[in-house]
Structure 1
Amino acid sequence: MTVTEINDDGSFKRSQMSKQFVRLSEDMGQSGALQQAPMDRTIEALKGFYEEYSQLPNLTLKAVATAAVRNASNQKVFLDRVRSEVHGLNIEVISGTEEAHYDYLGVINTLPVTNCVIMDTGGASCELVLVQNGREQNLVSLPFGSVNLSETFLKHGLDQLAAVDLFRLSTAVQRLFNGLWWLQRGQNLPLVALGGSNRTLAKIRRKQKNVADFEDIHGFRMSVSEVDNVYAEIIEHNLAERKAIPGLSKDRADIIAAGITPIVTIMRFLDSGRVIFSENGVREGILYEHLDQLRAKGKIGNKKDNISNTKKSAGSRKKADKK
């Protein structure tokens, strides 16, 4: 959940942010149904958010759900539970292309990029956007993320990773990329990465470089060799050792290998020499859309604040999903 104060002149600043790692897509499996425990965790997180946002004046609230709820066979059951248990909260389920579009808005408004490929790897989906001359040309949402890739491919367990599992995982991801005809046009362009797993790469590397504010990764760059080296360090360790890697959250240690396999794979696919990390994605994209709507209605001026680092964000809005 991020809260943003919007002034009459169009300037804005983030005043609050809260985050809970709920893994809403956990154990969906072949049934495609959200499971009881993840739903309970998510609703508890939303109740905590309510205690914060319900105290705010002049509130415009927007809550969205992404891949886990979008793909769930029991989507209505979950949304009804949220409405019933979280004080009438209505969650909008956005499509994969809408999610990718909001990623584009969040990136293009806060990073100096003109031509790039944007990749957002979440728990249950991966969004890709080809940006040329500052405009989104093609976009897609692929049905894989850190949680479902781990559950599908890491058959020999999440402790000591098996080479055969990693091979089958990377091969499956590569085939999906091969099926995107337009992705070839992103050859040699920089990759802009967001999503919890991808951002963990940057945090690990910044810890290695002894950067004081290692979590402030917006605009941070890594070469392909740096990405490969961090990936190699992750997959060679068992689970207990991964939990001890500086910069890697213990909550992500079991799914991080599958979570960053797509970015390692796409950098080779694109022959991209560098990756730029973004803290701004869906929530910030929704904010910029909201600001444009307010300007069009004459409710605010045209001044724009800079949220190029993550100190500022979305309009009082929550992303209720897997992150």
Structure 2
Amino acid sequence: MSDRQGLTGKKLPALMIAFLGLLVVGSCHGTSSSQTLESVPAVHHYYAAIDMGSSGAKLLVQEAKPDGSLVTVKDVRLSTKLGEGVANGSAIPSGNIQRTKLAIQSLTNNAHDDYGVDPSTIALIATAVTRNASNGRAFMDTLNHELGLTRGRILSGDDEARYGYLGTIAGFRRLGSSDDRYATLDLGGGSFQLAVGTRDAFELGGSTQIGSNQIVDLWLPGGILTEAQFSAADAGLFKKAPMPLAVDKLRGRKLVGTGSISKFLAAYFGTSTLKLDAIDRLRKQLGSMALEDRKKVLKGDRPQVVLEALGLGSEADANDYAIKSPASITLLLHIMRSLGVSEMQVSETDARYALISEIAAKP
């Protein structure tokens, strides 16, 4: 098989049904996406995890049922723009830090006030911009001490890939997928990750330190975008954003995406199978629109709980998403083309699910 033949792409109709069901009800108290873990103690309890990325912060709260299953009761994403204007290795501006700290405080209060989750038990992870910034460690220390998030930690690129893989595959394993060889991708504001493994174990992963924030800064600013701008971004990514794993490591595997833009695209197209050509057409459509019109397309007529899970819950969140969505889609297209694939699957689950499973197994 040549590099351009890419990965396998079998459809998973059951995943599409489960994923779209999650988007409708997964953020409501008492309704759920659930996972069963033999090692989870059979007690009635809530667990929470926060993923503090370069563009936004995501909270997941799950309830441990007496039968050992974990049921999602809250899934929300807030825009933070933590990595806005931050080059790798430079300091995060105080305004970005304050904005993000307020968002993390809000999510922490949500978990504590609504579900009784003590901040000291919340699994908080920070990714690209925090690990690469000169003051990233100091910012995490502030969250640990001032907000009581003592489980907070900064992930290496490899660990980010590993948790992303384990969380992503959890959804497929729960649905009883017969596939046993997977490749996962997760892209954010400051980096993207690829990982490979089986349905039961992570094998190898890596991270490239380019995300949607850099694409906005370098090639695709807010507002109406032209074909020439998209072409420049595509060419620039070809030079600046190599794949973190060799393509031959991914051959013969089912490609599965997670993260905000992948989940949005699954909701937009109404399927968990994303086609490269359809994604490219949507990029052109969104790029041709003014921001207000783009926001209307992104939000559609989805319920508020769905918008919150996708990161479109408030006007500020929607504005940020409208600016960055063409950049995120451009990065996704770059990854798919580099891997030689024409389609990919989307998982409803992500790194937060792996974090909660880890805590529930060893509280």
Common topology (TM > 0.5):
yes
Structure 2 partner of 1:233: 285
Q: Among residues 268, 285, 310, which one is paired with 2:354 in the alignment?
A: 285
In structure 1, stretches of 5+ residues that fail to align are 207-216, 295-323
Distance 1:61 1:132 in 2: 28
Taking structure 1 as reference, are residues 247 and 186 closer, same or farther at Cα in structure 2, changes over 3 Å only?
farther
Once the two structures are superposed, the pairs formed by residues 1-323 of structure 1 within 5 Å of their partners are: 1-7=59-65, 9-29=67-87, 32-55=90-113, 56-57=115-116, 59=118, 60-87=121-148, 89=150, 91-111=152-172, 112=177, 113-131=179-197, 135-154=201-220, 157-175=221-239, 180=244, 182-187=246-251, 189-206=253-270, 220-247=272-299, 249=312, 250-251=318-319, 252-293=321-362
CA contact (8 A) 2:197 2:203 kept: yes
* CA shift for structure 1 position 74: 0.9
* CA shift for structure 1 position 27: 1.4
Distance 1:10 1:88 in 2: 26
SS of corresponding position for 2:268: helix
Question: Which amino acid counterpart does residue 156 of structure 2 have in structure 1?
Answer: S
Q: Identity of paired residues, percent?
A: 22
CA contact (8 A) 1:146 1:197 kept: no
Distance 2:137 2:219 in 1: 29
Question: Which amino acid counterpart does residue 167 of structure 2 have in structure 1?
Answer: G
* CA shift for structure 1 position 189: 4.4
* CA shift for structure 1 position 104: 1.0
Question: Which amino acid counterpart does residue 291 of structure 2 have in structure 1?
Answer: L
Distance 2:80 2:243 in 1: 31
CA contact (8 A) 1:82 1:90 kept: no
Distance 1:179 1:274 in 2: 17
Distance 1:71 1:108 in 2: 27
Say what the alpha-carbon RMSD is for the aligned residues.
2.8
SS of corresponding position for 2:85: coil
Give TM-score scaled by structure 1 length. 0.76
Distance 1:145 1:234 in 2: 19
SS of corresponding position for 2:83: coil
SS of corresponding position for 2:82: coil
Taking structure 1 as reference, are residues 51 and 136 closer, same or farther at Cα in structure 2, changes over 3 Å only?
closer
* CA shift for structure 1 position 83: 3.8
Question: Which amino acid counterpart does residue 223 of structure 2 have in structure 1?
Answer: D
Distance 1:10 1:57 in 2: 19
Question: Which amino acid counterpart does residue 235 of structure 2 have in structure 1?
Answer: T
Structure 1 partner of 2:43: none
Distance 1:192 1:131 in 2: 12
CA contact (8 A) 2:180 2:199 kept: yes
Give TM-score scaled by structure 2 length. 0.68
Distance 2:215 2:163 in 1: 23
CA contact (8 A) 1:115 1:134 kept: no
* Residues 8-30 of structure 1 deviation map (CA, whole Å, 9 limit, x = unaligned): 65322223334311121111136
Alignment size in residue pairs: 280
CA contact (8 A) 2:279 2:329 kept: no
Distance 1:292 1:176 in 2: 40
CA contact (8 A) 1:188 1:271 kept: no
* Residues 153-211 of structure 1 deviation map (CA, whole Å, 9 limit, x = unaligned): 33xx42122444322322233346656562234346443111212322223323xxxxx
In structure 2, stretches of 5+ residues that fail to align are 1-58, 301-311, 313-317
Distance 1:137 1:104 in 2: 9
